[in-house]
Structure 1
């Protein structure tokens, strides 16, 4: 068995190495310089692009995403140029790379679907970080919009990770998109209660709530004659961040004032009438 540490073998390897360097050394050096300086230029171009987008007030997530896309695309071109300088057959290399890319694409088609959906969400800006949305059957505050998924934080502080394809394929409700919201309340009174008095009390309660906006004007009207109650539609407007505070405050105040004024708040009930008949 040949000893790989044999002096003669080492001498042959050394001579072959010297011959290889003498033939291809310059090309290898140029390829290394192309890679090093090309990488620096790619990084600089990507950073300048990011700064330009920041001056144009482009979304932060989109800036980072486009910056990375530009950088890695330029880096791929630099690597191909460097390999070409070494004398490798770039055509064969690209063919193999294309075949590998096709195989990877087929294997990761679901991930690529989420990737494409993430690009669309970032570019179209249906919602942004900090918005409270309902999408893909989930409701929560948008914590992050990533390339493959969107992270929501629920009111009870749970993190929900939703694939971007699921978000984009369904209806998206952006609850905090506008500065103001209408609070929709339904308040019922008994059929024997004074309807006009109850209506005036509801208007007074809404007017006295400091977070209710004067414009648009709050609405208090009879909504329906239900089975067990006469229902009022109470619809004040408020700032979006005050929505639940106004909702809870008015509901509590209605109960207190109606009790003080002797107006009943009925619950579902059924009247049963019994008639005697001769045997």
Structure 2
């Protein structure tokens, strides 16, 4: 009985000594791992701030700057985490494999979101439009108010917010009305065949030339667009600045109608063919 107790005591002492030796050997590794973690967090914060300042000086697009800054921050954090656990003596090969498998599964389940993410990156890099531009895309027309990584926000003329996923937006046709700074209105009047075409064109040109918001260069145009069975189609093309486009279009139509009435020029109503 005494021999068994002595053997038990000896075993406990041996385990205690072994545990103590392990702790003594592991403490320097633990301390160095946490030192690396603290220094790494400070370095990451410093690098992130420096990157933001550099992008501000270079006048990088705000959305792109935020995206690049965030990507850099999380990439450095992931690298620091792998270094930290490696310093603790944890095998990183299997850990990285698990992360890769999880990333693949998440990527397959979020294919639509990844497509929007990629589209957002393309829009931010190639800049087919900027915040404040008026664009037409995916059947919607509005002013761009925000370009995010996954969606682009537009505000329509009647103050409705439109969200377009960047995936389909980057792969579709985009009409940007703001890039050139000026825009041509394509208006039309249908006139009777009794109309003196030269007189009508003179009246329209006079109306456009007298309007303060119609640009002189490029010069406004008026021409015969088509001769149908029932009417002469007169195309009216004034140029204006983007901000004056709506007003110019409305004013020209109204003033031309008034001038035609004064000169006795008849506007031909639309005639529907009901013979079939």
Q: 1:71 to 1:16 in 2, by over 3 A?
A: farther
Please, which runs of 5 or more residues in structure 2 have no aligned partner? 1-16
- In structure 2, the partner of 1:179 is 181
SS of the residue corresponding to residue 133 of structure 1 reads strand
1:269 and 1:161 map into 2 onto residues whose CA distance is 40
- What do you get for the CA RMSD once the two structures are aligned? 2.3
Deviations 1:181-225 (A, max 9, x none): 111111222111222221111110000000011111111122222
2:174 and 2:98 map into 1 onto residues whose CA distance is 41
Superposed, 1:1-279 pairs within 5 Å as 22-269=24-271
Q: Which runs of 4+ in 1 moved over 3 A?
A: 15-23, 269-272
Q: May I ask how many residue pairs the two structures share in their alignment?
A: 259
Q: 1:142 to 1:16 in 2, by over 3 A?
A: farther
Please, which runs of 5 or more residues in structure 1 have no aligned partner? 1-14, 273-279
TM-score by length of 2: 0.87
1:134 and 1:19 map into 2 onto residues whose CA distance is 72
SS of the residue corresponding to residue 115 of structure 1 reads helix
Deviations 1:1-26 (A, max 9, x none): xxxxxxxxxxxxxx999887544333
1:104 and 1:268 map into 2 onto residues whose CA distance is 58
TM-score by length of 1: 0.86
1:242 and 1:111 map into 2 onto residues whose CA distance is 38
